[in-house]
């Protein structure tokens, strides 16, 4: 048990700390001591840093560093100034009027004369605003901090902000307020490559700083807050609003009377015309942003590949066509012209008008990612040729439904029609969507995407499951630059090479810089397959059904071209090539709004034609491809097989050597000589005087009936001589609709009869009757053309086909019907 004293000691008295508590207290004390020491060291270190003399040459005005960008003939396109100095003319303090100083202090830092480089009130206000908005909307920087930022560039991070504050304190410790303000006014950026008050006054108003009016001073004081946002040449309305704010702030701080402020508000912003060379603005901006990409980050002079005369004609062609299409809601266009042998960029137009704010003209349509629509189809068919297709392969252009991760996908052709059996040549030349998606389904989106990646479409950076079959119709976003590069690769027989915007580059000391290519050359497709694509894209007769014989793609020299329109009708493209040149054109709206009745042939097409004619001026055109790689054969235009005397017509088609069809036409056969009496008359009428039966096959029977080509198209299979049956006659029936794993919505406010699900079956007429069962229960029996409708019932279902009285399943498709869930 122990004594009472022992028990008390074991329990511990109120005044005695437990061992664990004591240890914890010691650790807290150590941490507090360490934090105090660290704080003391930081404060002492900051004090030492602030007390140090300023670096010897910190405030020197260095010579203006610039980058001169020239066209291929040596004409100046633009002179870009360095951010540190730019176009600057330093002033002494006595050359800057007091009213100008008061204006900038009121606009940027009205407590300038009362703080020591950092304004605690401004910092606290900025912190509250940033927390309230959930993002950085204010930095709280003083004029001294802004000067520190121009003298010692920093990263825009918390550490960088601390460094900026320390430098501001150091500047305040060694310079008086007037020196700081003078340094600031001589270095602050005013946009358009201009740094410093005097240079800005000369650029925008054509006068020195000492002769600026109150309104002009307020305008200049508005710009440093955001040289791009308040650019006088591009944002005059926004700048005017900022000018009014500056004048009000001057009244509030006592720097200006109310009467003078109101007079200055009414004083219009009368800008001097922008005299600096500002040609090919989008091209120069692109080049300036990608100097390292081409290995010229230390260049003083760059001679580009731009052809000045072709560039001028390209800009004119774009502006004229956009002006003509203004009533169809076409806001802008972009164009690129490439010399194929070298990859040199001869013309680069980023928009119809760089200064058009309404249509966002500063956007660069050459580099912006947009949906190319059908402009990617040539690369899909390139992959198909590698898989054994040929220009004569027959594809089904009939109503189609494809299953996928995102639900059912039902593509439509641009003309909202279907065209039955079409050859690859027809499908690509006329840009039919349905057969192209069928090809994509056979190849698989993964294989299509790999081919596009090999062709240089690096912007398609998501997985195949993201794009699905939509990749075939250009649902992914690419740039006009990538399209021009890929089509230029087609002109070289499938060899991708970099586009080259630079001829030469020199450093300031005159030494020439070795240029860097954006990509490494590589072959992305066999030359024979590319020759087939070029032949199709240059076949004006093949595209006549969609575009007419006399269309803008018909040029007086061999030209392969393809159009494309995005699914939202906000973009249309025309891209094409001769042996010598590639031209790529985009037309549409940067804001994504749809155009009105405009396609690639009517929007981008006329620009393409004008540019290609200009680009080929004085050039002797060479053949598009090496014809020795191909062979020719006479085929039946309907079946794509070797023509026979039964075919109503025949045509010449090209194939890869050894790739011509091996079999004669099976769609045209002689009339059977052993028909029952009840069919003889009908079949004789169907055969006509030539005694030939045209049997499209089961896949096209419903299409032929809907198109009015025949009341009973399946009768052809019975009338033809049985020894001449098509291979399709031996196929088992299969369900073509619903598609596998399709999902249907059941709407409670619509009649059930209106929501019945169509059933379509592909089968030869020789099968006669086919039983259709839903979840094992017989729904109905169908005869040619094997179409019907079943009631939609909520739940998962299984549709199966059977021979009458035979339980064996010939074809099956699972699908789901879900009731719509509405949220009120």
CATH T-level fold of 373-498+517-579: Beta-lactamase (3.40.710)
Strands 787-790 and 560-565, by their bridges, are unpaired
Is 374 labeled as catalytic in the residue annotation? yes
User: What pLDDT is stored for residue 136 in this prediction?
Assistant: 46
| 116-125, 339-348, 665-674: range with lowest mean pLDDT | 116-125
Beginning with the edge strand found earlier in the chain, give each strand of the sheet holding 581-588 in spatial order.
Answer: 344-349, 332-339, 581-588, 571-577, 560-565
Instruction: Look at residues 478, 745, 536 and name the one whose alpha carbon lies nearest to residue 653.
Output: 536
Which residues contact residue 290 at a Cβ distance below 8 angstroms, ignoring those fewer than 6 apart?
none
User: What pLDDT is stored for residue 266 in this prediction?
Assistant: 93
| 36-40, 110-114, 369-373, 432-436: range with lowest mean pLDDT | 36-40
* Structure tokens, 303: 């001679």
Mean pLDDT of 682-710: 89
Per annotation, catalytic residue among 374, 396, 431, 639: 374
Q: At what angle do helices 98-108 and 143-151 cross, to 10 degrees?
A: 90
Is 108 labeled as catalytic in the residue annotation? yes
Residue 128 reports pLDDT greater than 90? no
The number of residues in the chain equals: 824
682 half-sphere exposure, CB direction, 13 A CA radius: 16
Residue range(s) in the chain whose domain bears CATH number 2.60.40.10: 734-819
Mean pLDDT of 403-418: 80
What is the full DSSP assignment across 316-372?
HHHHHHHHHTGGGT--EEEEEEEETTTTEEEEEE--S-TT-TTTTTTS-TTTS-B--
Which residues contact residue 42 at a Cβ distance below 8 angstroms, ignoring those fewer than 6 apart?
none
Contact call for residues 18 and 12 (beta carbons, < 8 A): yes
Digit-coded pLDDT (tens) for 581-600: 999 999 999 998 999 888 76
Collapsing DSSP states into helix, strand and coil, what is residue 757?
strand
Residue 644 reports pLDDT greater than 90? yes
Q: Which of 128-132, 266-270, 281-285 has the highest mean pLDDT?
A: 281-285
User: What pLDDT is stored for residue 14 in this prediction?
Assistant: 45
| 59-73, 510-524, 671-685, 752-766: range with lowest mean pLDDT | 59-73
Rounded Cα distance between 443 and 453, Å, is 15
Q: At what angle do helices 236-252 and 214-222 cross, to 10 degrees?
A: 110
Mean pLDDT of 355-378: 93
Per annotation, catalytic residue among 79, 108, 315, 344: 108
Q: Fill in the DSSP letter of residue 407.
A: S
Mean pLDDT of 564-582: 94
Collapsing DSSP states into helix, strand and coil, what is residue 651?
strand
Contact call for residues 287 and 69 (beta carbons, < 8 A): yes
Q: Which residue has the higher pLDDT, 607 or 1?
A: 607
Residue 509 reports pLDDT greater than 80? yes
What percentage of residues in the chain have a pLDDT greater than 70? Answer: 88
Q: At what angle do helices 143-151 and 158-174 cross, to 10 degrees?
A: 100
Mean pLDDT of the chain: 87
Mean pLDDT of 207-221: 95
Helices and strands (H and E) in the chain: how many: 25, 25
Q: Which residue has the higher pLDDT, 127 or 606?
A: 606
Q: May I ask the CATH class of domain 82-266?
A: mainly alpha
Instruction: Look at residues 265, 257, 239 and name the one whose alpha carbon lies nearest to residue 102.
Output: 257
User: What pLDDT is stored for residue 42 in this prediction?
Assistant: 61
User: What pLDDT is stored for residue 624 in this prediction?
Assistant: 96
What is the CATH superfamily name and number for domain 734-819?
Answer: Immunoglobulins (2.60.40.10)
What is the full DSSP assignment across 759-810?
EEEE--GGG--EEEEETTEEEEEE-TT-EEEE---SEEEEEEEE-TT--S-S
User: What pLDDT is stored for residue 8 in this prediction?
Assistant: 43
Phi-psi region of 318 (alpha: psi -120 to 50; beta: other; left: phi over 0): alpha
User: What pLDDT is stored for residue 203 in this prediction?
Assistant: 86
Rounded Cα distance between 449 and 455, Å, is 10
Digit-coded pLDDT (tens) for 718-750: 898 865 445 455 578 889 888 888 888 887 777
Instruction: Look at residues 619, 616, 615, 584 and name the one whose alpha carbon lies nearest to residue 600.
Output: 584
Q: Is the dihedral of CA 272, 275, 278, 279 positive or negative?
A: positive
User: What pLDDT is stored for residue 25 in this prediction?
Assistant: 65
User: What pLDDT is stored for residue 137 in this prediction?
Assistant: 44
Band of the pLDDT at 39, cuts 50, 70, 90?
A: low
Which residues contact residue 536 at a Cβ distance below 8 angstroms, ignoring those fewer than 6 apart?
381, 391, 424, 425, 428, 429, 542, 560
User: What pLDDT is stored for residue 4 in this prediction?
Assistant: 41
Residue range(s) in the chain whose domain bears CATH number 3.40.710.10: 373-498+517-579
User: What pLDDT is stored for residue 13 in this prediction?
Assistant: 47
Q: Fill in the DSSP letter of residue 671.
A: B
Rounded Cα distance between 317 and 574, Å, is 14
- The pTM of the full predicted model, rounded to 2 decimals, is 0.68
User: What pLDDT is stored for residue 152 in this prediction?
Assistant: 84
Rounded Cα distance between 141 and 164, Å, is 9
Q: Which residue has the higher pLDDT, 270 or 779?
A: 779
Rounded Cα distance between 728 and 493, Å, is 37
Mean pLDDT of 547-574: 93
Contact call for residues 267 and 278 (beta carbons, < 8 A): no
User: What pLDDT is stored for residue 823 in this prediction?
Assistant: 41
Contact call for residues 302 and 296 (beta carbons, < 8 A): yes
Digit-coded pLDDT (tens) for 45-100: 667 777 788 887 788 766 545 788 999 999 999 887 644 444 567 889 999 999 99
Residue 102 reports pLDDT greater than 90? yes
Residue range(s) in the chain whose domain bears CATH number 1.10.3810.10: 82-266
Rounded Cα distance between 379 and 419, Å, is 22
Q: Which residue has the higher pLDDT, 359 or 36?
A: 359
Rounded Cα distance between 590 and 537, Å, is 28
Which residues partner with 575 through β-bridges? Answer: 562, 584
Digit-coded pLDDT (tens) for 291-334: 999 999 989 899 999 999 999 999 999 999 999 998 898 989 99
What percentage of residues in the chain have a pLDDT greater than 90? Answer: 59
User: What pLDDT is stored for residue 12 in this prediction?
Assistant: 45
Strands 66-70 and 301-304, by their bridges, are parallel
Q: Which residue has the higher pLDDT, 731 or 521?
A: 521
User: What pLDDT is stored for residue 274 in this prediction?
Assistant: 64
Q: Measure Cα distances from 719 to 76, 663, 684 in Å.
A: 77, 22, 8
């Amino acid at each position: 048990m122990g004594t009472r004293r022992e028990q008390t000691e074991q329990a511990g008295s109120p005044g005695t700390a437990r061992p664990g508590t004591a240890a914890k207290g010691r650790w807290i004390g150590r941490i507090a001591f360490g934090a105090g020491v660290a704080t003391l060291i930081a404060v002492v270190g900051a004090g030492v840093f602030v007390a140090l003399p300023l670096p010897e040459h910190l405030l020197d005005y260095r010579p203006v560093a610039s980058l001169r960008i020239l066209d291929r003939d040596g004409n100046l396109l633009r002179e870009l100034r360095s951010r540190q100095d730019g176009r600057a003319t330093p002033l002494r303090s006595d050359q800057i009027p007091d009213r100008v100083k008061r204006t900038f202090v009121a606009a940027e830092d009205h407590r300038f004369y009362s703080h020591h480089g950092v304004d605690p009130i401004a910092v606290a206000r900025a912190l509250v605003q940033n927390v309230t908005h959930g993002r950085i909307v204010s930095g709280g920087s003083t004029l001294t901090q802004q000067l520190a930022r121009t003298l010692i560039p920093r990263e825009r991070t918390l550490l960088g902000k601390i460094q900026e504050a320390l430098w501001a304190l150091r500047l305040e410790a060694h310079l008086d307020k007037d020196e700081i303000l003078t340094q600031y006014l001589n270095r602050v950026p005013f946009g358009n490559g201009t740094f410093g008050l005097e240079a800005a006054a000369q650029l925008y108003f054509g006068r020195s700083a000492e002769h600026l009016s109150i309104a002009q001073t307020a305008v200049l004081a508005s710009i440093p807050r955001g040289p791009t946002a308040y650019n006088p040449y591009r944002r005059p309305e926004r700048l005017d609003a900022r000018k009014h704010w500056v004048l009000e702030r001057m009244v509030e701080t006592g720097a200006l009377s109310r009467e003078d402020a109101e007079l200055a508000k009414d004083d219009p912003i009368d800008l001097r015309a922008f005299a600096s060379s500002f040609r090919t603005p989008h091209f120069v901006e692109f080049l300036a942003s990608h100097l390292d990409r081409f290995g010229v980050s230390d260049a003083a002079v760059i001679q580009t590949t731009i052809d000045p005369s072709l560039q001028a004609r390209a800009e004119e062609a774009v502006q004229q066509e956009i002006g003509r299409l203004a009533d169809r809601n076409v806001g802008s266009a972009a164009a690129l012209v490439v010399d194929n042998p070298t990859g040199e960029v001869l013309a680069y137009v980023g928009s119809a008008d760089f200064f058009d704010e309404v249509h966002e003209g500063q956007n660069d349509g050459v580099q912006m990612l947009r949906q190319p629509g059908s402009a990617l189809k040539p690369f899909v068919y390139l992959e198909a040729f590698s898989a054994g297709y040929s220009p004569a392969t027959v594809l089904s252009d009939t109503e189609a439904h494809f299953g996928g991760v995102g639900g059912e996908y039902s593509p439509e052709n641009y003309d909202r029609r279907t065209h039955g059996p079409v050859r690859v040549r027809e499908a690509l030349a006329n840009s039919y969507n349905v057969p192209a998606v069928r090809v994509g389904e056979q190849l698989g989106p993964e294989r299509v995407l790999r081919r596009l990646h090999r062709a240089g479409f690096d912007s398609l950076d998501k997985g195949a499951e993201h794009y699905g079959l939509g990749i075939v119709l250009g649902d992914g976003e690419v740039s006009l630059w990538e399209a021009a590069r890929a089509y230029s690769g087609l002109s070289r027989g499938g060899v991708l090479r970099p586009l080259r915007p630079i001829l030469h580059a020199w450093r300031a000391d005159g030494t020439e810089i070795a240029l860097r290519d954006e990509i490494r050359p590589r072959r992305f497709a066999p030359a024979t397959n590319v020759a087939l694509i070029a032949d199709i894209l240059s076949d004006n007769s093949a595209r006549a059904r969609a575009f007419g014989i006399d269309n803008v793609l018909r040029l007086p020299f061999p030209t392969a071209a393809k159009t494309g329109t995005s699914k939202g009708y906000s973009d249309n493209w025309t891209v094409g090539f001769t042996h010598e040149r590639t031209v790529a054109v985009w037309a549409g709206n940067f804001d994504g709004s749809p155009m009105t009745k405009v396609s690639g042939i009517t929007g981008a097409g006329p620009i393409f034609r004008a540019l290609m004619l200009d680009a080929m001026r004085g050039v002797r055109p060479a053949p598009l491809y090496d014809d020795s790689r191909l062979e020719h054969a006479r085929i039946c235009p309907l079946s794509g097989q070797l023509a026979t005397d039964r075919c109503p017509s025949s045509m010449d088609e090209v194939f890869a050597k050894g790739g011509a069809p091996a079999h004669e036409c099976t769609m045209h056969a002689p009339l059977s000589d052993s028909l029952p009496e009840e069919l003889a008359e009908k079949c004789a009428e169907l055969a006509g005087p030539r005694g030939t039966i045209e049997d499209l096959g089961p896949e096209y029977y419903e299409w032929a009936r809907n198109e009015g080509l025949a009341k009973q198209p399946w009768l052809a299979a019975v009338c033809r001589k049985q020894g001449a049956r098509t291979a399709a006659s031996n196929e088992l029936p299969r369900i073509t609709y619903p598609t596998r794993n399709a999902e249907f919505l059941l709407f409670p406010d619509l009649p059930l009869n209106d929501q019945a699900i169509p059933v379509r079956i592909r089968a030869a007429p020789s099968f006669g009757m086919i039983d259709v069962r839903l979840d094992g229960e017989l729904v109905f029996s169908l005869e040619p053309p094997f179409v019907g409708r079943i009631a939609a019932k909520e739940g998962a279902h299984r549709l199966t086909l059977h021979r009458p009285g035979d339980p064996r399943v010939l074809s099956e498709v699972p699908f789901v019907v879900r009731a719509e869930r509405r949220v009120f």
